[in-house]
Chain A
Amino acid sequence: MYDDGSIVPSHLSLSAVGLRKRYGDVAALDDFNLAVPAGTIHGLLGPNGAGKSTAVRAFTTLIDLDAGSASVAGYDVKAEPGLVRRSIGLVGQSPAVDEILGGRQNLVLFGRLFGLNSKAARARADELLARFDLTDAAERPVSGYSGGMRRRLDIAAGLILTPAVLFLDEPTTGLDPRGRNEVWNAIRLIAESGTTVLLTTQYLDEADQLADTISVMNAGRVISTGTPDELKKRHGADRIVVTVTDAGQLDRAAASVRSMSEPVIDPLARTVTVESPSGTAGILSVVRILDAAGIDPEDLALRRPTLDEVFLVLTAKESTR
């Protein structure tokens, strides 16, 4: 993280230092800091009301900040909002497309508003429609689109000028699994073209699937940043799950592995679970211990922590602070 607010390193597409924004009694952003290198997908993860959307609104010049400074693609959000707007695409929480118009008409409209002439706007619209697999639906009014199609059109509208940074605010909220997959593929495609993506989400698997780095947010600030693997290593432990053949062996198995960590017994699944600081070494010791105790397990599995666990650990820590 960059503590020095005076300099925006040139390789950073997004930088926020000490952002604050209050709405009445609620601090939506409370010393929010972020640094996202160019060309990466950054996931902003947090529960409802954590301040994710407020952060996006701050970066996209939609709100004035109470304090702090933010820059997008090297331009200061407060001093150079016009240049910021030329460098970004925004895909908000609800698809911001015209329902009455067709898909192509929407893209041509936004393309012309971005300064393209009619011909260039039409060409760009066709290009984007093809890229997001909407060519067949191009003439149909958007009101008849599925949720996934609407989202893809929405994202296409954010990409008209190939922005340096694309903001996606909960792009898959309310989509069915199929629509979600469609949008995920679209996001991967965008990142491949070199655009930096800031993605807010409350779905941990979404961040896990898409993001190069993740910032976990709670109560208006970032509480942990890193790659998904780093976060899991930092905030969660590997677990070893032993399944015994006979429920009668559960207590004995639990007693034998207690030296590693406090075991958790699940009688229904016939499992004993222990935490282990290092997974593979842990498996070996469990095997030795069980062997010495004369227990022949039915199954032995190493479970890596999920981002969900990391998230719960982090946000629980925060709320007890």
Chain B
Amino acid sequence: MTATTAAPFSALRNAWILTQRELLHWVRQPALPIFGLLFSIMLLLMFAFLFGGAIAVPGGGDYINFLLPGMLTLTMLFGLDGTLQAMSTDAAKGITDRFRSMPIGSSAVALGRSGADMASSILNLVVLIVGGLLIGWQITSDLGSALLAVFLLLWLRFSLLWIGIFLGLIFRGPGATMAVQVLIWPVGFLSNVFVSPETMPGWLGAVAAWNPISATATATRQLFGNPTGLSGGWMVDSAIALAVAWPLVLTLVFLPLSARAYRRLKR
């Protein structure tokens, strides 16, 4: 079949077409992404100025410098909600079925979703980084490290994408989406994003420290040359390795699960 020889190319082409669909959404309905950005900025300002004064960073350092990398990480986590919503809207509208009845592979659909969501995450990161710099955040490292930090953030986002696709495929209906939207908060807050785990009760600090989100937050803090709020230990020493490893594990678990869930739509 000619279809098989052209498959890798056509998958990429179709993925790009589906990514463009998302970009067209931004143009046609800018309110939604703008609201998302405003939400991120609001959260940033709230913690920087409202709570920030009351939060001390263990080991010293400016809270805003501690906060910003955490906020960027949290934004990657909250992006999961966007993936899930897009997936469940397409499923509910029958668009998923239309794609499945068309001569396009499941890989193209997944790649398209990932292209669209990565694009939106990059936009989010840019806005938050600029916003952060405007309110006094300082990157004290070099450009290479800063870019590596951004890469690690997007790498985390990429792994969370598969969780979003997986949940979007197995849960149907608005109830499930809402449950995930609610549960995403404790996952985000039970980390070192806003406060150092060293200020928490022991068991809670342990949970927060082991949260994959925390690994990326610590690694990006180091790479941006910002305070980590941690007094040391192997998790600090190997923060970058952990920030690579955690998303890798998540991807290795949820990418196959997503593929399986997609196949299981045939049941």
Provide the bound-state CA to CA distance between A112 and B24, in Å. Answer: 15
B29 CB–A CB distance under 8 Å: yes
B93: contacting residue among A99, A113, A114, CB under 8 A: A99
CB distance B24 to A101 under 8 Å?
yes
Given contacts A64-B266, A112-B17, contact A96 B94 (CB under 8 A): yes
Given contacts A82-B3, A113-B17, contact A101 B28 (CB under 8 A): yes
Q: How far is the CB of A53 from chain B (nearest CB, A)?
A: 11
A302 CB–B CB distance under 8 Å: no
Of the candidate stretches B101-109, B158-166, B228-236, the one touching chain A is B101-109
B21 CB–A CB distance under 8 Å: yes
Provide the bound-state CA to CA distance between A94 and B97, in Å. Answer: 11
CB distance B103 to A114 under 8 Å?
yes
CB distance B103 to A115 under 8 Å?
yes
Q: Which residues on A sit within 8 Å (CB–CB) of B28?
A: 100-102, 105, 141
CB distance B104 to A96 under 8 Å?
no
Q: Mark A72-105, 1 if CB is under 8 A from B, else 0.
A: 0000000000100110101011111111111001
Can you name the residue of chain A whose Cβ is closest to the Cβ of B89?
A99
Q: Mark B30-49, 1 if CB is under 8 A from A, else 0.
A: 00000000000000000000
CB distance A90 to B14 under 8 Å?
no
A62 CB–B CB distance under 8 Å: yes
Q: Is the interface of B mostly helix, strand, loop or mixed?
A: helix
A227 CB–B CB distance under 8 Å: no
B1: contacting residue among A62, A82, A113, A114, CB under 8 A: A82
Provide the bound-state CA to CA distance between A277 and B88, in Å. Answer: 55
B260 CB–A CB distance under 8 Å: no
What's the A-B contact tally at a CB cutoff of 8 Å? 73
Interface size on B, residues (CB 8 A): 27
Q: Which residues on B sit within 8 Å (CB–CB) of A97?
A: 93, 95
A306 CB–B CB distance under 8 Å: no
Q: Which residues on B sit within 8 Å (CB–CB) of A224?
A: none
Q: Mark B12-24, 1 if CB is under 8 A from A, else 0.
A: 0010011011001
Interface size on A, residues (CB 8 A): 30
Provide the bound-state CA to CA distance between A101 and B94, in Å. Answer: 16
Can you name the residue of chain B whose Cβ is closest to the Cβ of A59?
B101
Provide the bound-state CA to CA distance between A115 and B3, in Å. Answer: 11
CB distance B94 to A95 under 8 Å?
yes
B98 CB–A CB distance under 8 Å: yes
A250 CB–B CB distance under 8 Å: no
Provide the bound-state CA to CA distance between A116 and B267, in Å. Answer: 31
Q: Which residues on B sit within 8 Å (CB–CB) of A157?
A: 98
Q: Mark A185-226, 1 if CB is under 8 A from B, else 0.
A: 000000000000000000000000000000000000000000
Q: Which residues on A sit within 8 Å (CB–CB) of B172?
A: none
Provide the bound-state CA to CA distance between A115 and B103, in Å. Answer: 9
Provide the bound-state CA to CA distance between A203 and B98, in Å. Answer: 24
Q: Which of A86, A88, A101, A157 has the most CB of B within 10 A?
A: A101
B102: contacting residue among A98, A114, A141, CB under 8 A: A114
Can you name the residue of chain A whose Cβ is closest to the Cβ of B6?
A115
Given contacts A62-B266, A99-B93, 13 further A-B contacts (CB under 8 A): A82-B1, A90-B98, A90-B101, A92-B98, A94-B93, A95-B94, A100-B24, A100-B28, A101-B28, A105-B24, A109-B21, A113-B102, A157-B98
Q: Which residues of B contact A (CB under 8 A)?
A: 1, 3, 10, 14, 17-18, 20-21, 24-25, 28-29, 92-95, 97-104, 265-267
Q: Which residues of A contact B (CB under 8 A)?
A: 60-64, 82, 85-86, 88, 90, 92-102, 105, 109-110, 112-115, 141, 157
